A and B are shown apart, each in its own frame.
Chain A
Amino acid sequence: MATVGEAPTLFLRKATGLVKGWSKFDAFLYSFMSVNFVTLGLFFAFSVLAFVPTGQILPALLISGVFVSFLVVTYAGLISVMPRAGGDYVWQSRVLGGGIAFVLAITGWWFILWYWAPIYGNILNVEVFQPLAAVFKLDGVSEFLASNNGLFFVCAVTVLLAGYLVSLGMEGYAKIQKFCFYVGMAALAVVFLVMLFGSQSGFQNAFNEEAANLFGASGDVYSQTIEMGTVNNGGPIVPELGFTPFFGPTLLLVPFLCFWILWPNWGATLYGEVRGASDFKRVMSGMMWGLWITVGVALVFVFLADKFFGWEFFNAANLNYWATVYGFGEATMPVWSYPPLLASFYFHNELISALIILAFGAWFLGWAGTLFLSSTRVIFAAAFDRILPEKVADVSERRHVPVWALILMLVPALIVSAFYAYTSTFRTWILDATLVIAVTFLGSAIAAMILPWRKKRLYESSPMARYKVAGIPLITVSGFLTAGFLIFNLYHWFTNDLYAINDPDSLVFMGSMYLLALVVYVVAKVVRKSQGIDLGAIHKEIPVE
């Protein structure tokens, strides 16, 4: 019952679109699956720590988490100012202009995801196919999967799987993602329990036995792994755990971690109608929880890996894997030292190992659809803006599948996969894929920074206008810090050999993607002008008075 003096609330009538928000858990879930600890995290971040031997993972994790939090605030702010705009392309086009937005977003969310297909494929290979083949001692299959043909096969499977998930539609995929979350978390819990209650000596014995059983190794393979790591690294391989007053090269770990942790905004959630600041907080908290629970899981993993595998062994095994990939050394295992696979050795049971690996596959399945979903949206948005032909936004009549958008993703992704599988140079080139998406995020961070001035009315009518830091709009502050963080990472990716993505050919190659986007935009502008359509008019504001 209302009482005199309480804060007035608005009266709503029954009208279309008046929803009651969404559960925080759902918002968390999609963010959590985007900063996927098992796929990107274990393979692209935690497997490369040994490359910075004196870097400290714990502070690096926390520093990355704090700065990615600014990214979260920035994106939540953009969502609350332009709720239904639907992402980087539309935000940037409204603030920075259609041309810049098209070039940045189309490159970052369309072209570059062709190159992510082999990255996804590679993860499917090392986290699902190869461990399963190893567990069942299918040597022929293992050989095939390690070959160029095998790599192409796995990439093709990934591309087709991602295409299929998109064709299911968002509702179908959302259900699959939720299912995958539960299965993946259950599997993670099992492995964490094994790591918590199992002893390191027990693991050493299990590893030695299974290495002999599965890979034909002999002797103390555990110690051999560490020795081999020292040789491969040309010195001690132990990155330090814990804090010291001086971070030393710890910050160098951050760009590695950003291969994984930079994406909590990937599936930014919808924003309701006739709502206010509470929705900004809700959007932000969903992504923030996704980010920080992931950071928490990672921290727990680090402590458990230290306890159960031994931090030195864990890093040596990973380093040895990369030594075989890049050809600068050898390894004791013919497959990547995938932590769930290692932990499953504790059971000395092939079936249990296989079940654990398959259950961990849920982390991949719940993530694979993200490969093309965002691209489809950007392609649609560009078609609706008449930059791309309207045909590319067609959906099939019977199953409502975005046929042309999928073709524009699948065909180039398959071609790229073939290049990836059969030419080693190409593998280095495409590592810049992360860099390109970070550049797109940088565009949005800059758009967020200047939004309160560039789109004053829009900003002032939004809930974000209430949030200020020392009199400066919060979205400007968070945009500035996000931009700074992204520039820090980009600088290191561009200039430091450590990250293996500053290959000049790679930069030229990725630069050509921007050029391609620019050419598409210019051609579209000319063609549309001849048809009487001014692309520059899309975001021109009509005077009010």
Chain B
Amino acid sequence: MPLGTLPGLRSGGPRRKIPPVKIFFVTDLHGSEICWKKFLNAGAFYGADVVILGGDVTGKAMVPIVQRANGTWEASLQDHRDTLESEDAIVEFEKRVMNRGYYPIRVSDQEYVAMQEDEDLVDKRFKEVMLDGTERWIAMAEEKLAGTGIRVIACPANDDMFEIDDLLTGAQVVETGDEEHPITLGDFTMVSMGWTNPTPWHTFREAEEPELATRIDRALEAATDPETTIFNFHAPPYASKLDNAPALNPDLTYVSGGQAIRPVGSTAVHDSIKRFQPLLSLHGHIHESKGSTRIGKTLALNPGSSYEEGILQAAVVNIDEKKRKVKNYQLVNG
């Protein structure tokens, strides 16, 4: 049986003999290169046994660097138009773009205009840059963490196209999981689900609540003991204060200037936590809703995300293996 089909061992690579007890959890990096680099260093920095990216690996925007007819390059970032006159300047600009979680693309004048007019071209290019970006991140992880004993897990979520799953599954050092593939963390089992309840943006992995409930049930087939189970469900539980987002009008503008906040999490996720009572429930999805809460006995966390600013918001969780409980946790801004 190939390694990838064993529960908890979707990818190969070295495994620690000593079970992990300290988890460093982040979510929604959305292509921010600086956050990914910090993430890879976080295990050593916090003394964590495993670093987990809960979901939403890939970026949301491409920044075209357009070559004009006269040979100069032009680009805009944060509403500021730059003329880039040397290769060094372009590379520097590309770094800035990647640090914010966007993908720089070099295009000619004509390509740029064509992309403006043809959504398919944009989609195609997005697919390319997202896959390239994910591959590059995997390579960085291999280089940084291979042989260190620190496990690195990255799971796809609603904003990630399905094509990145194969890249993550095929990685050597980076592990991944989903409803069908739980991950073993020592004596614990982490079940993951990147799907969310519907959003106004109709992203890749969305489903109505009943379907989410079915997916969760499927994921829980691998989990027998709540005390040794960790949920990594991208969608936060409904009305848990981990899911407060600004209400939006149909045209995707903020209601009441962003002052109107409403819960947008998943009822299926909430019900599953309430029913199953896992040791720990890790969430993301709603970047502005950093927080912690208890649902029954379960500690649920959403570290939030400030990926564009290059701040790595995270949850550091110490688990007492003997007592099978969360010893302590902290939400940090690394």
A contact residues vs B (CB 8 Å cutoff) = 1-5, 7-23, 26-27, 29-30, 81-85, 94, 169-171, 173-175, 177-178, 267, 269-270, 273-278, 286, 380, 383-386, 390, 393-395, 397, 400, 402, 457-458, 461-463, 466, 531-534, 537-545
Contacts and interface: CB of A to CB of B under 8 A. Distances in A.
A80 B212 CA distance: 36
Interface pairs A-B: 9 shortest CB-CB = A26-B257, A276-B78, A270-B258, A2-B116, A174-B256, A276-B79, A22-B254, A542-B334, A171-B260
Given A21-B253, A461-B96, A7 B74 contact: yes
A286 B328 CA distance: 42
A27 B291 CA distance: 26
Given A10-B61, A270-B258, A390-B294, A15 B201 contact: yes
23 contacts: A5-B109, A7-B76, A8-B63, A8-B65, A10-B63, A13-B122, A17-B201, A18-B60, A19-B248, A19-B252, A84-B304, A178-B256, A269-B258, A270-B246, A277-B80, A286-B257, A384-B292, A386-B330, A400-B239, A531-B327, A538-B330, A544-B34, A544-B38
B6 interface: no
Nearest to A532: B328
Contact of B306 (A4, A84, A384, A457): A84
B102 interface: yes
A390 B294 CA distance: 9
Given A274-B61, A544-B34, A8 B112 contact: yes
Interface stretch (B145-153, B172-180, B225-233, B282-290): B282-290
B292 A390 contact: yes
A17 B74 CA distance: 27
B331 A385 contact: yes
B253 A10 contact: no
A20 B96 contact: no
A345 to B, nearest CB: 36
Given A276-B77, A394-B293, A19 B254 contact: yes
Interface of B: 30, 34, 37-38, 41-42, 45-46, 56, 60-66, 68-69, 74-81, 96, 99-100, 102, 109-110, 112-113, 115-117, 122-123, 125-126, 158-159, 199, 201-203, 239-241, 246-248, 251-263, 285, 287-288, 290-294, 304, 306, 308-312, 318, 327-328, 330-334
Contacts of A267: 259
Give chain B's interface secondary structure class. mixed
Nearest to A400: B239
Contact of A2 (B62, B112, B240): B112
Given A269-B259, A543-B41, A461 B100 contact: yes
A395 B304 contact: no
A278 B115 CA distance: 24
Please indicate which of the listed interface residues A10, A18, A393 has the most CB atoms of chain B within 10 Å of its own CB. Answer: A10
A75 to B, nearest CB: 15
A275 B102 CA distance: 11
Nearest to A27: B257
B250 to A, nearest CB: 11
Given A8-B65, A17-B201, A384-B292, 8 more contacts: A8-B63, A22-B257, A267-B259, A270-B246, A276-B79, A462-B309, A542-B42, A543-B45
Contacts of B253: 19-23
Nearest to A537: B332
Nearest to B261: A170
B79 A278 contact: yes
Nearest to A460: B96
A458 to B, nearest CB: 6
A164 B260 CA distance: 16
Nearest to B308: A273
Contacts of B246: 19, 270
Contacts of A273: 60, 287, 308
Contacts of B254: 19, 21-22, 26, 270
A117 B308 CA distance: 38
Given A178-B256, A384-B290, A14 B68 contact: no
A395 B80 CA distance: 42
B293 A393 contact: yes
B306 A8 contact: no
A542 B64 contact: no
A272 to B, nearest CB: 8
Contact of B199 (A16, A402, A541): A16
A173 B158 CA distance: 31
A276 B246 CA distance: 19
Please indicate which of the listed interface residues B37, B102, B260 has the most CB atoms of chain A within 10 Å of its own CB. Answer: B260
A19 B257 CA distance: 12
